[in-house]
Structure 1
Amino acid sequence: MHPSSRTIIDLYERHAEAFDADRGRSLFEQSWLDQFRGVAGLGASVLDLGCGSGDPIARYFIAKGHRVTGVDSAPSLIGLCAERFPGHDWIVSDMRRLDLGVRFGGILAWNSFFHLSPNDQRAMFAVFRQHAKAGTALMFTSGPSAGEAIGSYRGEDLYHASLDPAVYEALLDANGFKVLSYVAEDATCGGHTVWLARFQEA
């Protein structure tokens, strides 16, 4: 495993203001966010894992009437969320160890889950399940195939990893989620590989 897999949290904390400034506000993800909302239901509570600075995705959900609980490991990013959206819940926590004792109508891990190592990704499906109830929408981004990819942000290595699509399907199924939609490298969404599933078990 590449050493950069252990420096993700520190990288985002040190570059929090730059990341917020660099993050586009065009909401090119909107078609997927709307599909997610359609599964979760009007006004459903949303757990945003790796919420970053909350803008634009959490902002979009809040504007549409959803209560958002945002989780991020970088305290400075959570601070920005709390300043912008004080009526919602913002938690500094590592998603891998999350145990809120609450179940949500929607669980989102957009451009965050894929920063975890392959083994940590496998373990996350139990975390997803723990925070889901019957009908909960789950959406996350991954890579299109198994492997590690090292990008760059502000001159530093930025770690990404992915499991094989068949492994994701098996993990979803084993944890009570049914795949509703999967698009690898969606050209209409900036080349993102997106999974949308629904939790089937009560």
Structure 2
Amino acid sequence: MGSNDERDLVRRGYNALSYHYRSDDADDGQYAPWLADLHRRLPASAAVLDLGCGCGLPVARFLADAGHHITGVDISDVQIERARRLVPTGTFLRADATRLDLPPASFDAVVCLYALIHMPLADQPRLIKRIATWLRPGGWLLTTVGNSAWTGTEDNWLDGPAAMWWSHADALTYRSWLQQGGLTIVAEDFVPEGTSGHALFWAQRRRS
């Protein structure tokens, strides 16, 4: 598949599986401690970019309810329509995160949970560098990425009517990409899932 085919597979997959993936009344689940920690690190009324925001739950809703200004981006039309309904105070854009053009130093934090791994691998280090430019000095990136390298497709994902595609490097590679992008890694954790899992990073834009 070419990268545009892969992007379209992800977009069509989440359009079809949006409610399979997360219902309108889903709780914060495993995200709750991460979001509470992020809130503690942020100034009041912070500007936060949620890349791969999905339907707006739980990240955008939690942070909006905490008084922050949320911009959410997702490749799925259905997910963005739901986010606008579920988090009416947020600003939501239907866009490919790897092709975003945003002003430098415009966000106090960028959250990218289980989203980078749906983007073509060749685009990921470039996006990480761009995220660093979008952050204000001292701003935070909270992201989950691959723990081991894998690229592949799963048919009938979540027992639903569509396929899904992922592509990710290993944690060591992501560590290098974050540092090369101008970010300082403050903490790293392993988030188990089934027989494998993901790497979670807290990274901060260096203060000049």
How does the TM-score come out when normalised to structure 1? 0.86
Which residue of structure 2 lines up, in the alignment, with residue 126 of structure 1? 129
C-alpha deviation, 1:67, in angstroms: 0.9
Distance 1:142 1:20 in 2: 20
Alignment partner of 2:94 out of 92, 95, 103: 92
Q: Percent identity?
A: 24
Matched AA of 2:73:
V
* Number of residue equivalences: 200
Which residue of structure 2 lines up, in the alignment, with residue 197 of structure 1? 203
Q: How does 1:14-93 map to 2 (within 5 A)?
A: 14-21=16-23, 24-93=26-95
Q: SS state of the match for residue 80, structure 1?
A: helix
Check 1:201–1:174 CA distance in 2 against 1; reply closer, same or farther (3 A cut). farther
Check 1:40–1:137 CA distance in 2 against 1; reply closer, same or farther (3 A cut). farther
Structure 1 window deviating more from structure 2 (39-48 vs 102-111): it is 39-48
Distance 1:163 1:58 in 2: 26
Q: SS state of the match for residue 135, structure 1?
A: strand
C-alpha deviation, 1:24, in angstroms: 3.9
Which residue of structure 1 lines up, in the alignment, with residue 112 of structure 2? 109
Q: Is the 8 A contact 1:176 1:201 kept in 2?
A: no
Q: Deviations over 1:118-145 (max 9, x none)?
A: 2121221122123111011101111211
C-alpha deviation, 1:181, in angstroms: 1.0
Which residue of structure 2 lines up, in the alignment, with residue 160 of structure 1? 166
Q: Is the 8 A contact 2:145 2:168 kept in 1?
A: yes
Q: Please tell me the root mean square deviation across aligned C-alpha atoms, in Å.
A: 2.5
Structure 2 unaligned blocks of 5 or more: none
C-alpha deviation, 1:89, in angstroms: 0.9
